[in-house]
Amino acid sequence: MSGKFGNTKSPYASKPPVVVTTRGGWFSRLSCVTFIYIPNESATSRRVRIPKVALYSALALFCGLLGLVSALSANLVKMASLQGEYEKLRGENTAIRSEAAALVAKLQEVKANLAQVGHISDQVRQEAASLDPRSEKKKVNGFGLTLRARAGLKSESTRTNQASGYPFKFESAQYLAKQNSQDEDKKIDLPAQAVGSNINVDNLEFRDLFAALSDIRVKSSAQLHGLSALLRELQGYRVRLSQTPTISPVKGLVTSSYGMRSSPFTGEAKMHQGVDISAPMGSPIRTAANGTVVRAGTADDYGNFVEIAHGFGVVTRYAHAQKILVRVGTRVSKGDLIGLVGATGRTTGPHLHYEVEVGGRKVDPSNFIRGL
């Protein structure tokens, strides 16, 4: 330094600047948080310095992880809830599919029942039509006459049936009415085996539909049973009717009825056990019912005659024929040609002597043929 003091130098002028270095370098220059750890009273304490940046970063990372874990936990809870709803919906879907399959099966059963009902109804109509006297007349070319012993008729027809030993019964209509009334009062039940073993009957979604189908099935089954019984009865009635002598064996005029009469040969009162039907010589003689020829030949009183067994104890006899066209053992149907009208045997002229036996007892043929 110059001046009045001379060349006096400052005491600090010759000393270089001192650089203070701190152990740790740049880490020590960071703003830190010091943690002092004292294991016990006698041990030396330990000091841990953590930069605030690292501490805040760790805290932020922890909070982020905590938020992520919370979000994942919430999602897991939500997924568990959705899984439960899915399982519930899947169970309901399985139950509905099972119900639908059971409904289809029940519909098929009802459809089959109704198809059988329709089929048997057609058969019943055909059987009923075959029992129509008009169809019978047409079938035997005008030789058929109406059966007097018809079910439902009273008084004389009923007495005729009982007297001839050949009663008819026709109770299926009453049976069906009774069955239908019982079905109306029947409570519909839905057992588990009817809709599937894995279906809870009490929780059916389509219970009303199941009940309606079950009702239809019960009624259609009852109707099917009733129609089947009616069909069997009609078939039996048709068979019996076909074997009943319900048509006149020849076209002509009745000249002598069944019962007591004066003999045309002696004039004495005598029982006439058949009817005499006058007809031109050679007129066709037709069998009065289905049956089998059991006798065909000649007798003193009958001349040429044919005897036919029809079953159920019924036998018809055709006498005084000019010619016999069948032999013993021949199966004949109602209206078949079996001979020609003649005057053989003990007779006063060409005619047919016609007899009917029921259970070995000769009865009046007019009991079976109207207008004879």
- The pLDDT of 166-170, averaged and rounded, is 37
The one-character DSSP state at 365 is G
Q: Which residue has the higher pLDDT, 133 or 155?
A: 133
- The pLDDT of 156-180, averaged and rounded, is 40
Cα dihedral 352, 358, 363, 366 sign: negative
- Asked whether the predicted pLDDT for residue 164 surpasses 60, the reply is no
Q: Which residues contact 245 (CB under 8 A, 6 or more apart)?
A: 288, 289, 310, 314, 316, 356, 365, 368, 369
- The pLDDT of 18-24, averaged and rounded, is 47
- The pLDDT of 302-328, averaged and rounded, is 95
* Distance between CA atoms of residues 168 and 334, nearest Å: 19
Domains of the chain: 99-242 (no CATH), 253-367 (2.70.70.10)
Report the helix count and the strand count for the chain, using DSSP H and E.
7, 14
pLDDT at 98: 80
pLDDT at 107: 84
- Asked whether the predicted pLDDT for residue 146 surpasses 50, the reply is no
